[in-house]
Chains A and B, each alone.
Chain A
Amino acid sequence: MPLQTDGMVVRNKKIRSHYFILEIYCPPIANQIKPGQFVMLRVSDNASPLLRRPFSVYKSYPLSHPEKRKRGYLFIFYKKMGKGTQKMTTLSNGQRVNLLGPLGNGFTLPPLPSSANCILIGGGVGIVSLYPLAEALKDGKLSVLIGGKTRNDILGVEDFRKLNSTIFTATEDGSLGVQGTVVDLFISETRKFRENEGCYVYACGPVPMLKALAGTIKSKKFICQVSLEARMGCGFGACWGCVVRMKNPKKLYQRVCQEGPVFRIEDVAWE
């Protein structure tokens, strides 16, 4: 059940160039958030910026977590881009921040027991919202495809490596891994799969990437879910500001925050 609560900033660490990890102690949300769900963070107490900002959670540690000192923590991996994230970089240890969450619908996992191939595809900072899912899928056959503009934009490799997954990287400038996009990588890797093998695909990244992915997924063997980003007003379904256009004319505009943020790739009208 979503709730509104204060969290305490424990650390706000620059990872590299524009990328940061904000660690927040917030047991009520850390204890219940599921892979693919998000939180709305109030970055400022005043009107600048006015709206909360939506963030997926990179790591979260429920109260049942074996390592006692980690319990109740949430990690938000963010990229400094606009006014909101700019302000976020100034948050420091001990500061209180207000959160709403967990929000939205998480990913649907393959039915258990599963021997299905699972492929996670992340573009840029999009990969970080797939990390909790990777943790949930780590006992199966898991491939992680990470793409970015340059090697500086390839995130989370060390963490994914610990999960027993096979990692592939692609950069547009060729500075790390294969030169090209993560969708190119997806095409070449999945060519190896046989037609009768079911394959669960989970993707998060910029819209052009997801659209390109939608164009390549024609075969029924792929069950593909995408996690969408959108400018949001509220994050909990009240304002209808964050809608995405769907193919079904009876459900033309669906709220990313409420019906999403995870959608089946074939349901979205990519434009």
Chain B
Amino acid sequence: MEELDLTVRIGRMLLRNPVVVSSGTFGFGEEFEDFLDLSRLGAIIPKGISLKPMAGNPPPRIFETEGGIINSIGLQNPGFRQFIKNKLPYYKNLETHLIINFFGNTQKEYVELARRFDDVAGISGLEMNISCPNVKKGGIVFGTDPQMAYHLVRAVRKSTALTLIVKLSPNVTDIALMAKSVEEGGADAVSLVNTFRALAVNIHTKKPELGNIIGGLSGPAIKPIALRMVWEAGQAVSIPVIGMGGIMNAEDAIEFILVGASAVQIGTANLINPRTGLEVVRGIREYLTRNKIDSIQKLTGTFG
């Protein structure tokens, strides 16, 4: 058989393989360098960046539930300027795509950030976060209203030529409508799902387990719901879908690809096994070989 083709195209990016590591679970990348060769990943997405630094939410910020974790980190990040100065130089030596996850409190901030990142060398794409459940303003407000999402994406689209991915919230009634709206707004791709709004209770203290009370649930517990949503979104749009939600291994990733994902993101699993991304790449390769499929692109959406 010919050489396996693992490449996938997302907007203007050609990824060497469909495995991307998800924002918020991969630090700024450097935290992982002792454990794996980052250049062998399809792309990396560092922690989300805002215009101004953000302190994040009060601890406790993380709580484990059955097959999942609820987090309320609150988008702690150093802000645009410090990110460019202190973090960006690290990526110059990596031979993988750098996708910047960003968010704002207002449309103006989203537009301003997209414009600023557009001027920065070394960035392949942007992932717009309109789905963080852990901050009061912005984030999820845009991500749950199709009209607002459409207008926001349209405005951001005009301010950047970079590949624009929109990260969707699962905390909506109709994910297909959300995906369709951001596609019409000019997104090059959608990524989903972000975390599900969730709560954990301590019966001894009668208090919430998280300082922020509400957090976002991720991990294997959400995978079946995430799969359903990726499938629905994929049927509604013609742009690529990047699937995520509880992927722990190659089998999980293949399920997402079968239901319509062109690429996948590894999230929570990075925290437990920092090498998960590479193990998923290897597992996908083996699956394709075993099933005599010469290209990953031929696998996308072949479910049903």
Contact = CB atoms under 8 A, between A and B. Distances in A.
Interface of A: 1-4, 42, 47-52, 83, 98, 100, 230-234, 236-245, 252-253, 258
B71 A241 contact: yes
A50 B220 contact: yes
Nearest to B63: A231
Nearest to A253: B56
A253 B73 CA distance: 11
B34 A1 contact: yes
B105 interface: no
Given A2-B34, A47-B221, A50-B68, 17 more contacts: A4-B35, A50-B67, A50-B220, A51-B64, A52-B271, A83-B64, A230-B60, A236-B35, A238-B27, A238-B271, A239-B71, A239-B271, A240-B47, A240-B76, A241-B61, A243-B56, A252-B55
A51 B219 CA distance: 10
Interface residues of B, number: 36
A4 B25 contact: no
A1 B221 CA distance: 33
B146 interface: no
A51 B275 contact: no
| Most chain B beta carbons < 10 A, residue from A52, A237, A240 | A240
A253 B59 contact: yes
A3 B35 contact: yes
B58 interface: yes
Contacts of A98: 273
Nearest to A53: B64
Contact of B59 (A100, A236, A244): A244
A252 B58 CA distance: 10
Contacts of B34: 1-3
Given A4-B274, A47-B220, A243-B56, A238 B63 contact: no
B2 interface: no
A236 B32 CA distance: 8
A94 B24 CA distance: 36
